[in-house]
Structure 1
Amino acid sequence: MRRRLLNFLVLALLGLGSLVMLLPFLWMLLTSLKPFPELFALRFLPQEPTLDNYRQVLEQTGFPRWFLNSLLVASATTASVLFFDSLAGYTLARLRFPGKNLVFLLILSTLMVPTEMLVIPWYVMSAERGWTDTYWGLLFPGLMSAFGVFLLRQFFTTLPQDLFDAARIDGLSEFGVFLRVGLPLVRPALAALGIFTFLGNWNAFLWPLIVVQRPEMRTVPVGVALFSGEAGTAWNLIMAASSLAVLPVLLVFLFAQRQIVEGAVLTGVKG
């Protein structure tokens, strides 16, 4: 009886916490269905639900182009991070060469540098090379991740060395060993890193705001932020655009919940 009561209390607390977490998203969705005069009526449910806010966002703004820009940047950086970080992690974990530990420490040291300190050098380099207002300018800061190198290196070190030795004896090249033996064994870490990278680049705001000036090159976070200005804030459009922008994030979480949990566990346990 005591255990049942304890389980009930735990479930009740978890349910309450879930409700608190979901309430802002529910408020955003309901507000996106309200006509503009109802926004300041302090009613939770819309009295006259309408899809006009979504129509304005999709037809009268550049949101479709912003959505495609964000999708392209997030997908390209995720693919690049998965390949280059796994290659670097394998090299640091399985190959022997002078200065290997020093290289790994230098990579880790970059994690201590805040992104805000790198924005100015990135922008100066982009301006000198003509990368502003281009997809390459949006992409290049996120093509590799020190965190990804650390995560995959730690995971590669836990794999049995005999598997790699057997593959070399069978005649595989070093890249073949990495591609056909190493990568399949670190699939959970790759999935977790891919999810974190995609979400981070989808929600990126500071760098796209700085490097992009043309409206058609904006990403979703930058475009949505511009609905608020000195003349006022179009909360109805902000809520509608935010509801559309959160769809890819929800899909990622729905289809990759297990990998997200595994990734959180791997970052703290493996090593």
Structure 2
Amino acid sequence: MSKLKIAVQKSGRLHDDSMQILKDIGISIDNGKDQLKASTRNFPLEVFYLRNGDIPQYLLDGVVDAAIIGENVLVEKGNSIKTVEELGFSTCRVSVAIPKSVRYNGIQDLNNKRIATSYPNTVNHFLKENNISAQLHIINGSVEIAPNIGLADAIVDIVSSGSTLFKNNLKEVEVLLKSQAVLAASPKIGDEQQAILDKLQFRLQSVLKARQSRYILLNAPNDKLEKIINILPGMKSPTVLPLAETGWSSLHSVINKNEFWEIIDELKANGAESILVCPIENMVF
């Protein structure tokens, strides 16, 4: 039986988030300690644990069929690789940072400066786009130390919380790109593997949609149902069920978690009572 070969980062936050979403879509991975490859018991999948920076080449060569990878790495090393699905986790940005003590007036301040980075292709594109001339120092590792030892005037690196910049007396001044984890496919993926990838993507979409949604149940007097129904976005329309108490009904619907408090406030103002909100595991369309 054919299997889909998928790469994930071997360690770190992206690894943990990737393994969690595979678990959430019901895939059981036989994963022993320090294994570089693992099989799954209930889905035709082989998981390869690789360095994030190596994954684009494995995709281009067809060694793996798909990958969960940082978008920033694809921009840097695999522009020709197709992104199949944005996954919404492991978010970060690729940014310019300079010493806190240095005044920054705008992009032109980077002219003729020394920039240390692990993302030369991304930086060169940014500099060319903004007509900036700068000298790049390619560093693999702790880029943040470069200004402190006099190697560079600025750095370009990934930023999540900004705590690493803060510890190294740096400040973020420009964002080159915003990144998240994505599902990517090899340009050499076969038809059988593509069919498996489609099934995997379907499962991912159901979990991602559920993560952004909440199931809501509430009670309301029948004379206010129309107003309350107009407030609830729902999937198509809310489910309305009569309560044992005459003149009252129960409404069931789905709301976007980011609009939760605004919708709750509006529902209460229009007569909704006993509002119950629950997380959703999957949403299948």
TM-score, structure 1 normalization: 0.22
Look at both structures and tell me which one has the larger radius of gyration over its CA atoms: 2
TM-score, structure 2 normalization: 0.21
More strand by share: 2
More helix by share: 1
Q: Which has the higher contact order (CA 8 A, sep 6+)?
A: 1
